[in-house]
Amino acid sequence: MPSIAMIGLGNMGSRMGGRLRDAGHVVHGSDVVDGRAAQLGLEPAAGTGAATAAADIVLLSLPSDAAIATAMAGPDGVIGAARPGQLVIDLSTATPGNAARWERELEARGAAFLDAGISGGPGGADAGTLTLMVGGRAELIERAQGVFDVIGSRVFHCGAAGAGHATKVVNNYLNGMNLAATAEALVVGVKAGLDPRQLLEVINASTGANWASEHRFPRIVEGDYIEGGLTNALMAKDLDLYLGLADALDVPAALGAACRTTFTVAMATGYRDRVSNTVVDAIGDLAGGVRVQPDGDRPKDTT
């Protein structure tokens, strides 16, 4: 069974690392926050380089392009420690155009690279039912299959290096748009005097139904914001990746820009590091304190 390095032990990395450990892999964990690996019951590594040196397969789950660049190409990075035969898989949501560089630099050291966007959030990571959107050389997927089987239930090979990230970025634009649009619509409906539970039931039986209305808002209107999922800051980052991709391709993305502004408002009004489902409260605040939970069912504190 290949040993694993898990670089980045946040909401997603901790869960995927835990599942791989439970499946019998030795998992060497590394995070800029000291002590995370030990806390999670993973093998603590002295840093990214040490975790890489100890592993057959290196996984990254990091919050930004800058963090990925540090972990990959920094002084204690994956590339410097990589050796022939190793496979490195970036499970972060990141700029598609950077993937070719990681592939090239890892191949120069005899190692290999895949970019793999993941969808399904912390629930999917806990259950091992993530959807994986993979870019890179097709023959590498077989080598990664053992890991993919533990963390996911569907694997799509989307094309060459960067195609996995591009697929994820396009998908997450729609994820953010569904969330922001449904949040705004519910705030309008509640302020118009409608019952939020019934409004949602009607939407979900009608043409307005979408992933957020079907899977997120039935819990949000009961006061469960589904903590642990993507924060507003990370959603904004994903929308920036989408807008960057659209801009590079000369595609006008006016709706994407409006969606980004909605999450900018959430970040600027105190919800930056809260789960992105709280965008509905950010919109509600601007609307004069509207909450989409029926009166009396509101959570006292959703932090």
Question: From residue 87 to residue 126, what is the string marking binding to ligand NAD with x (rule CB under 6 A)?
Answer: -----xx------------------------xx-xx----
**Sign (positive or negative) of CA dihedral 197, 274, 16, 40:** negative
Least gap, CB of 290 to ligand NAD (angstroms): 26
Token look-up 């819990």 returns 219
Q: Pick one of 37, 45, 71, 179: the residue that binds ligand NAD (CB under 6 A).
A: 71
Q: How far is the CB of 139 from ligand NAD (least distance, A)?
A: 25
61 vs 167, which CB is nearer to ligand NAD?
61
With CB under 6 A as the contact rule, the residue among 13, 17, 135, 256 that binds ligand NAD is 13
Residue placing its CB nearer to ligand NAD in the complex, 63 or 189: 63
Q: Under 8 Å CB-to-CB from 231, ≥6 apart: which residues?
A: 272, 273, 274, 275, 276
Closest distance between ligand NAD and the C-beta of residue 179, in Å? 12
Q: Whose Cβ is closer to ligand NAD: residue 32's or residue 141's?
A: 32
269 sits near ligand NAD (criterion: CB under 6 A): no
The residue within the footprint of ligand NAD, chosen from 4, 5, 6, 7 (CB under 6 A), is 7
Asked if residue 229 lies in contact with residue 277, where contact means CB atoms within 8 angstroms, the answer is yes
Longest dimension (CA), the chain: 64
CA distances from 149 to 162, 163, 280 (A): 21, 20, 35
* Cβ nearer to ligand NAD, comparing 183 with 190: 183
CA distance linking residue 92 with residue 12, whole number of Å: 9
- Please, what is the minimum distance in Å from the beta carbon of residue 60 to ligand NAD? 8
Q: Which of residues 197-256 bind ligand NAD (CB under 6 A)?
A: 229-230, 234, 238
Of all residues in the shown chain, the one whose CB is closest to ligand NAD is: 10
Rounded (10°) angle between helices 163-191 and 254-266? 70
Q: In what order do the strands lie in the sheet with 57-60?
A: 43-44, 27-30, 4-7, 57-60, 87-90, 112-119, 130-135, 152-159
Nearer to ligand NAD, 129 or 198 (CB): 129
Q: Does 9 bind ligand NAD (CB under 6 A)?
A: yes
Q: Using CB under 6 A, which of 12, 27, 267, 292 touches ligand NAD?
A: 12
Rounded Cα–Cα distance for residues 177 and 10 (Å): 24
Beta bridge partners of 60: 7, 90
Which residue lies nearer to ligand NAD by CB, 189 or 225? 225
Could you say whether residue 52 binds ligand NAD (CB under 6 A)? Answer: no
Residue positions annotated with a catalytic role: 168
User: What are the residues binding ligand NAD (CB under 6 A)?
Assistant: 7-13, 30-33, 48, 61-63, 67, 70-71, 92-93, 118-119, 121-122, 229-230, 234, 238
